[in-house]
């Protein structure tokens, strides 16, 4: 298995105790094509609600792209990304896809373990902080996204 994926799995599993204490449990973990660095999919489900937190880790495959963690919350076929949530807090308007770019969880390839740990820590602070009400209750947030088809 790829080193980046191994580090990600090790780092995210450090949160298992905290997740279990809050009523969450691992729902599914799947590595897609680990020998060719495609990505890992990690889902955590809250026990009393049908809300799922999903982490996708995309390791870099070339020097032109960067590794990143994409985290989002799903409930009854609705979802919002953590990066989009942060962008929406700032702009308070319908978002374009590029609005969330500065809020992406990008991994520094020179310092993998520390960078992955920092980005996951940032995500979990949001999840257990200001996003907790969306995870543990029936309350939900809808983030309006611009669809390029609306321009025509």
Tens of pLDDT, residues 21-55: 878 887 777 777 756 656 788 888 877 667 889 99
Return d(Cα 131, Cα 109) in angstroms, integer: 28
pTM: 0.86
pLDDT at 147: 78
CA atoms of 70 and 29, how far apart (whole Å): 15
Residues 59-113 pLDDT 10s:
876 666 788 999 999 988 889 999 999 999 999 999 988 999 999 999 988 888 9
Is residue 135 a contact partner of residue 51, using CB atoms and an 8 Å limit? yes
Separation of alpha carbons 115 and 92, rounded Å: 29
Residue 53: exposed, middle, or buried by beta-carbon count in 10 A (0-12, 13-18, 19+)?
buried
């Amino acid at each position: 298995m790829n080193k980046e994926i191994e580090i990600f799995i090790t780092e995210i599993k450090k949160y298992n105790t905290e997740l279990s204490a809050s009523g969450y449990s691992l729902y599914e973990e799947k590595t897609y094509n680990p020998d060719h660095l495609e990505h890992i999919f990690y889902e955590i489900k809250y026990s009393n609600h049908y809300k799922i937190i999903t982490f996708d880790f995309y390791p870099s495959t070339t020097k032109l792209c960067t590794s990143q963690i994409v985290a989002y919350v799903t409930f009854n076929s609705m979802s919002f990304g953590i990066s989009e949530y942060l962008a929406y807090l700032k702009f308070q308007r319908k978002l374009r896809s590029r609005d969330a770019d500065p809020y992406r969880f990008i991994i520094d390839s020179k310092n993998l373990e520390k960078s992955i740990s920092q980005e996951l820590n940032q995500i979990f602070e949001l999840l257990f902080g200001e996003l907790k009400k969306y995870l543990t209750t029936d309350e939900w947030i809808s983030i309006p996204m611009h669809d390029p088809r609306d321009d025509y």
